[in-house]
């Protein structure tokens, strides 16, 4: 009964939010097992379509392609992609107005990137782009016989502001979801209790690992019926997998994507991270992933250096029968911890601190290094006045509670590279 109610809530909610999701899901489902040749011809057709659109509607792409003397009508195979200039995050951020296409889209969906490197990108998604993204995730769940409306445990950080906690709890309850708000024993106990009835668990892999470690330390292990554990946004370390397998008898499955690229790949039950070729063309150039988004009509993203180091395998045939290329390894994302004297904190704490500061009008580019346990050296690009400094340190206090001392250096030039910058580097020996 209850599950029927959540199903209904989900279907209605999804329809009101974006009534195209089901259509996109059906498209993905119907094309799931196409052969390599059909995939190539589909991608070439969509590539030409998005190139023509970008060139005619976005001044950024028109200028860029004119400068490189690129003739779109001379693109006749996927190999010709190589002649199209690459772009990076900095260019997207600096030219977002010239890239965004404002023409008569029925409905648009605001989106932004995490800004964990200090460069947050805001853009608008057209309806079918948004729908395709959501449909891709649902299809990935379907591979594991998981329905999105089934009870699920979720890790997506936490915010200590009481109103946000209440709001989050209400939204979670409506989506049959519960989450972990801290790594305290009482919070972990209650999370694991709820997990007994859950069908899937998803979010940051470093947090999944923490919960697994705690579960393994318990005398009486919970009896669970989880069908899927999905890690997003962070590299899934082997040490995590070992601990998670011991705790839950499942491995962490990867979902790979980013706000601007959409869902790039999802891991199948045979362990291959399959590219959603209907959504994006991916290339490997100098070990870096280059993404061409085939559905981002409102904000074209063509030959974009996402900033991750990857290996792409285009020759292996997976036993599941899906024929898109396989992402072998994503080396660019690592979930690390900041060690305090008494507790440890996900490096994402930095992201929350700076996100909160951003909301009160303090915008800073930062990078942090930990050399000594209980200490964090923070470098900020901007000049930080006394008032902002106080606010910044107070924000850290909320999370660290005197357990980690923050040393702040301002007016520091933060190295910018085309590859994704790490906002946190730990020079401590791994305790793993
Ligand atoms: Zn497969």
Q: Name the most confidently modeled range: 28-32, 208-212, 336-340.
A: 28-32
Q: Which residues line ion ligand 1, judged by CB < 5 Å?
A: 268, 270, 272, 318, 320
Cα 269 to ligand 1 centre (Å): 7
* Cα of 294 from ligand 1 centre, angstroms: 22
Rounded percentage of the chain residues whose pLDDT exceeds 70: 91
pTM for this structure? 0.76
**pLDDT tens sequence across 245-290:** 999 999 999 999 988 999 999 999 999 999 999 999 999 998 789 9
Residue 365 main-chain phi, psi, to 5 deg: -95, 135
Greatest pairwise CA separation for the chain in angstroms: 68
pLDDT at position 106? 67
Backbone angles phi, psi at 229, to 5 degrees: -125, 120
Distance in angstroms between the alpha carbons of the first and the last residue of the chain: 44
Q: What pLDDT, on a 0 to 100 scale, did the predictor assign at position 307?
A: 81
CA 216 to centroid of ligand 1, rounded, Å:
30
Q: For residue 24, is pLDDT > 70?
A: yes
SS (H, E, C) 367-421: EEEECCCCEEEEEECCCCCHHHHHHHHHHHHHHHCCCCEEEEECCCCCCCCCCCC
pLDDT of amino acid 180: 85
Q: What domains sit in the chain, N to C, each tagged with a CATH number? A: 1-330 (3.40.50.12780), 337-426 (3.30.300.30)
Query: What is the spatial distance between Cα 208 and Cα 376, in angstroms, rounded to a whole number?
Result: 24
Cα of 343 to ligand 1 centre, how many Å? Answer: 39
- Give distance in angstroms: CA of 143 to centre of ligand 1: 10
Per-residue model confidence (pLDDT) at position 105:
67
Q: How far is the CA of 356 from the centre of ligand 1 (A)?
A: 40
Task: Compute the distance from residue 312 Cα to the ligand 1 centre, in Å.
Answer: 14
Is the pLDDT at 34 greater than 70? The verdict is: yes
Q: Which 3 state secondary structure label does DSSP give 292?
A: strand
Cα angle 116, 153, 337; round to 5:
40
Q: For 371-424, what is each residue's pLDDT tens digit?
A: 999 999 999 878 999 999 999 999 999 999 999 999 999 988 764 433 334 678
Ligand 1 centre to CA of 30 (Å) is 16
Task: Provide the H-helix boundaries in 204-275.
Answer: 205-217, 238-248
Confidence of residue 333 (pLDDT cuts 50, 70, 90): very low
Mean pLDDT for all residues in the chain: 87
**Which residues does residue 304 pair with via DSSP β-bridges, in sequence order?**
87, 291
At residue 16, the pLDDT reads 87
Check whether 116 has a pLDDT greater than 70: no
CA of 227 to the centre of ligand 1 (A): 17
Query: pLDDT of 340-369, one tens digit each?
Result: 999 988 777 887 788 788 888 887 778 889
- Quick count: other Cβ atoms within 10 Å of Cβ 141? 22
Which has the minimum average pLDDT: 55-64, 191-200, 374-383, 409-418? 409-418
């Amino acid at each position: 009964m209850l599950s029927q109610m959540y199903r209904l809530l989900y279907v209605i909610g999804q329809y009101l939010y974006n009534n195209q999701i089901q259509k996109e899901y059906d498209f993905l489902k119907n094309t799931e097992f196409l052969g390599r040749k059909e995939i190539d011809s589909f991608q070439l057709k969509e590539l030409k379509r998005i190139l023509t659109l970008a060139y005619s509607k976005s001044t950024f792409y028109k200028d860029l392609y004119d400068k490189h003397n690129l003739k779109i009508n001379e693109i006749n195979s996927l190999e010709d992609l190589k002649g199209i200039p690459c772009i990076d995050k900095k260019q997207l951020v600096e030219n977002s107005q010239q890239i965004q296409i404002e023409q008569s889209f029925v409905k648009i969906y605001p989106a932004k990137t995490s800004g964990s490197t200090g460069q947050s990108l805001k853009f608008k998604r057209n309806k079918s782009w948004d729908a395709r993204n959501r449909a891709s995730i649902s299809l990935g769940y379907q591979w594991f016989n998981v329905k999105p409306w089934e009870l699920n445990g979720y890790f997506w950080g936490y915010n200590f502001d009481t109103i946000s906690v209440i709001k989050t709890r209400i939204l979670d309850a409506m989506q049959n979801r519960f989450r972990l708000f801290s790594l305290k024993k009482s919070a972990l106990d209650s999370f694991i209790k709820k997990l007994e009835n859950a069908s899937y668990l998803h979010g940051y892999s470093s947090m999944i690992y923490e919960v697994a470690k705690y579960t393994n330390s318990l005398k009486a292990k919970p009896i669970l019926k989880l069908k899927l554990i999905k890690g997003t946004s962070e590299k899934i370390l082997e040490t995590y997998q070992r601990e998670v397998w011991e705790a839950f008898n499942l491995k962490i499955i990867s979902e790979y994507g980013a706000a601007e690229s959409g869902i790039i790949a999802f891991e199948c039950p045979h362990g291959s991270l399959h590219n959603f070729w209907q959504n994006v063309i991916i290339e490997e150039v100098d070990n870096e992933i280059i993404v061409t988004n085939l559905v981002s009509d409102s904000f074209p993203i063509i030959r974009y250096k996402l900033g991750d180091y990857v290996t792409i395998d285009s020759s292996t045939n997976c036993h599941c029968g899906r024929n898109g290329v396989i992402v072998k390894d994503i080396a660019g994302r690592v979930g690390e911890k900041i060690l305090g004297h008494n507790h440890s904190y996900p490096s994402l704490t930095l992201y929350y601190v700076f996100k909160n500061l951003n909301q009160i009008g303090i915008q800073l580019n930062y990078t942090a290094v930990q050399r000594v346990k209980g200490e964090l050296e923070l470098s900020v690009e901007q000049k930080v006045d006394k008032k902002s400094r106080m606010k910044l340190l107070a924000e850290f206090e909320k999370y660290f509670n005197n357990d980690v001392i923050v040393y702040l250096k301002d007016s520091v030039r933060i190295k910018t590279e085309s590859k994704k910058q790490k906002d946190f580097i730990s020079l401590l020996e791994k305790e793993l």
